[in-house]
């Protein structure tokens, strides 16, 4: 352990050994990393614990500085653990480099099947016992972290004193096909709202896509920017300021070189920073696996379902005068062709997409008998998590209180400062 200070807080780096496979506790171990954060004025106090589960899959816990975002509110009364979920951050990161040591694609896929919500929750239980001596703790789950929290309620509610979910109530029984069939209309609405705000971007986006159709561009580092990859910049539209970020990105796309125009270096660097999976490859590799339950293969659901929405086809859009629709909240086989961080993992991803022996993640009967205080922020028309799916689950979990709002997008818990967390705490405690 190492302890140090930032403005207003004391941080301690902690490490925990957990079984790679919880069915074999004496087998291979995995080292998890978590950063404890406590208010400087309360560093010596006995405080309840709150563990934060980041969204994803594939993202380590956010690296805050001092009391940023919701953390300032949390440390008023909690000792916070920012836990890097297995395979992310400093918790045994899984990528093209480390997975190569696991053998071939099938062996890699078998290994990564242990990196879903079920294993993450079992990790949390090991960590909880070591930190609290067995006392329950509060879970704050953002996005995929909320999926993990829902699994936690299904399998180990005795470990929970309260659950707070932000933009992350999953469907309990929807297949990956169902998820994307609901997602594409939402993504289209986000793209149309962007163009209503910035109509000049209709022409800009079409011009960039047309240029890429004739001149696929290899970005610094080897990422091949195709028209479909360009469309996936719509991932920005799921955050509160994402539409503005996208607008500023598009306006600087071209630079004049003599009599011709080329995509500028600045544009290429910004696109690479947005689209590359180098820092979070599990987001792509496990993206559809987080929805998998039972014997049904995901089978590249986002790609198959997209065929039901021809308005997203780039060639069709460029052949007429309509706007090019952005995408974003979906992963496709071509991602594993254009991104050098993913190319070595294509066969592993195929093996995961074909897998038919997934463990169930949620227990509707147990959730209906829930005794743990639960509060959830549901962001209206959230691009990442379907509102109707979320509200159906909310009605299943006994005692869950929802706050449905269109004031924020998917990143509301960060963008709102302390407001979203404060509201959820009040709901969970019956104060609101």
Residues carrying an active site annotation? 143, 357, 410
Residue among 372, 369, 370, 383 nearest 412 (CA)? 383
Contact status, residue 172 vs residue 367, Cβ threshold 8 Å: yes
- How many Cβ atoms sit within 10 Å of the Cβ of residue 25? 11
State in Å, rounded, how far the first CA of the chain is from the last one.
39
Residue among 392, 418, 417 nearest 404 (CA)? 392
Cα 259 → chain centroid: 43
Dist CA 331 CA 294 (whole Å) = 21
Dist CA 218 CA 64 (whole Å) = 33
Sign of CA dihedral 207, 213, 216, 220: positive
Q: What angle do CA 235, 239, 245 make, to 5 degrees?
A: 75
Contact status, residue 366 vs residue 357, Cβ threshold 8 Å: no
DSSP tag of 238 = G
Please identify which residue in the block is written with the tokens 């200070």. 5
What DSSP string runs through 39-79?
A: EGGGTTS---EEEEE-STTT-PPP---TTTTTHHHHTTT-E
Contact status, residue 402 vs residue 376, Cβ threshold 8 Å: yes
């Amino acid at each position: 352990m190492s302890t140090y200070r930032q403005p207003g807080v004391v941080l301690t780096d902690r490490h925990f050994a957990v079984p790679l496979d919880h069915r074999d506790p004496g087998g291979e171990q995995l080292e998890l990393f978590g950063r404890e954060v406590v208010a400087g004025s309360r560093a010596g106090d006995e405080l309840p614990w709150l563990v934060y589960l980041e969204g994803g899959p594939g993202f380590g816990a956010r690296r805050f500085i001092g009391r940023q975002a919701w953390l300032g509110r949390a440390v008023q009364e909690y000792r916070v653990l920012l836990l890097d979920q297995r395979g992310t951050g400093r918790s045994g990161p899984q990528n093209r480099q480390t997975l190569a040591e696991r053998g071939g694609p099938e062996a890699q896929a078998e290994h990564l099947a242990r990196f879903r919500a079920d294993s993450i929750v079992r990790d949390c239980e090991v960590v909880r016992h070591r930190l609290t001596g067995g006392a329950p703790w509060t879970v704050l789950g953002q996005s995929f972290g909320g999926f993990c929290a829902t699994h936690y309620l299904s399998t180990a509610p005795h470990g929970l004193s309260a659950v707070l979910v932000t933009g992350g109530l999953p469907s309990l029984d929807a297949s990956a096909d169902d998820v994307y069939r609901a997602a594409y209309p939402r993504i289209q609405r986000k793209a149309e709202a962007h163009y209503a705000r910035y109509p000049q971007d209709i022409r800009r986006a079409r011009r960039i896509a047309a240029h890429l159709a004739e001149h696929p561009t290899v970005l610094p580092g080897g990422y091949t920017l195709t028209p479909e990859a360009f469309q996936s910049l719509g991932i920005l539209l799921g955050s509160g300021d994402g539409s503005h970020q996208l607008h500023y990105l598009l306006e600087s796309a071209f630079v004049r070189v003599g009599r011709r125009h080329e995509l500028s270096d600045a544009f290429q660097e910004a696109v690479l920073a947005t689209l590359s999976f180098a820092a979070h490859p599990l987001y792509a590799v496990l993206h559809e696996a987080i929805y998998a339950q039972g014997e049904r293969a995901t089978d590249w659901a986002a790609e198959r379902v997209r065929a039901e929405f021809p308005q997203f086809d780039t060639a069709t859009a460029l052949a007429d005068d309509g706007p090019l629709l952005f995408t974003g909240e979906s992963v496709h086989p071509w991602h594993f062709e254009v991104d050098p961080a993913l190319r070595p993992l294509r066969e592993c991803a195929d093996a995961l997409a074909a897998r038919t022996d997934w463990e169930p993640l949620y227990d509707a009967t147990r959730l209906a008998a829930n005794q743990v205080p639960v509060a959830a922020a549901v962001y209206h028309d959230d691009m990442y998590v379907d509102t109707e799916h979320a509200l159906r689950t909310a009605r299943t979990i006994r005692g869950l209180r929802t706050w449905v709002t269109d004031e924020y997008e998917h990143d509301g818990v960060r963008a709102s400062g302390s407001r979203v967390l404060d509201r959820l705490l009040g709901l969970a405690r019956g104060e609101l």
